[in-house]
Copies of this chain bind each other. A is one copy, B any other.
Amino acid sequence: MAEIQESKESLQESLQQVITLLNKHRLVEGLVHKQDMPKHELVESLVHKQNLAELHKKLDALHPADVAYILEALPLEQRLDVWDMVKAERDGEILLEVSDAVRQTLIADMDSDELLAAAEQLDTDELADLAPDLPKDVLQDLLDSLDIQNRERLQSALAYPEDAVGALMDFDIVTIREDITLEVALRYLRRIGSLPDHTDKLFVVDRHDILRGVLPLKRLVVSDLDLGVAEIMAADAVVFHPEDKADEAAKAFERYDLVTAPVVDENNKLVGRITVDAVMDFIRDEAESDMLSMAGLREEEDLFSSVWKSVQNRWSWLAINLITALVASRVIGLFEGSIEKIVALAALMPIVAGIGGNSGNQTITMIVRGLALGQISTHNMKSLLMKELGVSLMNGLIWGSVLGLIAYWLYDNFALGVVMMSAMTLNLLLSAVMGVLIPLLMNRSGRDPAVGSSVLITAMTDSGGFFIFLGLATIFLL
Contact = CB atoms under 8 A, between A and B. Distances in A.
Interface of A: 2-5, 7-8, 11-12, 15-16, 19, 63, 65-66, 69, 72-75, 186, 189-190, 192-195, 197-200, 216-224, 234, 236-238, 248, 251-259, 276-277, 279-281, 283-284, 287-288, 290-292, 294-297, 301, 303-305, 307-308, 310-311, 314, 317-319, 321-322, 325-326, 328-330, 332-333, 336, 339-340, 343-351, 353-355, 358-359, 361-362, 364-366, 369-370, 373-377, 379-380, 383-384, 387, 390-391, 394-395, 399, 402-403, 406, 410, 462, 466
Contact of A355 (B218, B292, B321): B321
Instruction: Classify the secondary structure of A's interface with B.
Output: helix
B221 A296 contact: no
18 contacts: A3-B237, A3-B256, A16-B379, A63-B256, A72-B373, A75-B380, A194-B218, A254-B284, A279-B280, A287-B290, A296-B358, A301-B366, A307-B390, A307-B391, A314-B359, A318-B399, A326-B351, A336-B347
Nearest to A296: B362
Contacts of A194: 218-219, 222
B257 A277 contact: yes
Contacts of A307: 387, 390-391, 394
A3 B201 CA distance: 12
A189 B295 contact: no
A402 B395 CA distance: 38
A255 B15 contact: no
B189 A394 contact: no
Given A199-B218, A322-B403, 20 more contacts: A4-B238, A4-B256, A5-B236, A7-B238, A16-B377, A186-B221, A189-B221, A194-B219, A195-B221, A197-B257, A198-B259, A290-B291, A291-B291, A304-B387, A307-B387, A310-B391, A311-B394, A314-B359, A329-B351, A339-B343
Given A189-B222, A223-B190, A358-B321, A336 B343 contact: yes
Contact of A73 (B217, B375, B403): B375
